[in-house]
Amino acid sequence: MGFAMQKEQQEHVDQAILQLLGHRYGDGLVYFRDDGERRLFEQALNMGLVNREGYLTPAGRSLIARNNEE
């Protein structure tokens, strides 16, 4: 996926994904509240916001920081 497309997707991120990314502790690992969040996790993974192990990527951290500023 190209950088421009990835950036566009990140700008239009669903609030549910932002909530999912907020479910973490100081270790940076994203935790599920229920099995329904697995689909959201897969979306976040495809967008490059988390890695396969479930840790926030730099893009995920940046997205959260931008949304916390608003």
- For 57, phi and psi rounded to 5 degrees? -95, 170
Question: How many angstroms from the chain centroid is the CA of residue 32?
Answer: 12
User: How many CB atoms sit inside 10 A of residue 17's CB?
Assistant: 20
| Host domain of residue 19 | 3-69
pLDDT by residue for the chain (70 residues), tens digit each?
Answer: 455 555 555 455 678 889 899 888 778 899 988 888 898 999 999 999 999 999 999 999 998 888 887 6
Question: How many domains does the chain fold into?
Answer: 1
Question: Is the pTM for the entire model greater than 0.75?
Answer: no
63 with 7: CB under 8 angstroms?
no
Token pair 């976040």: residue: 44
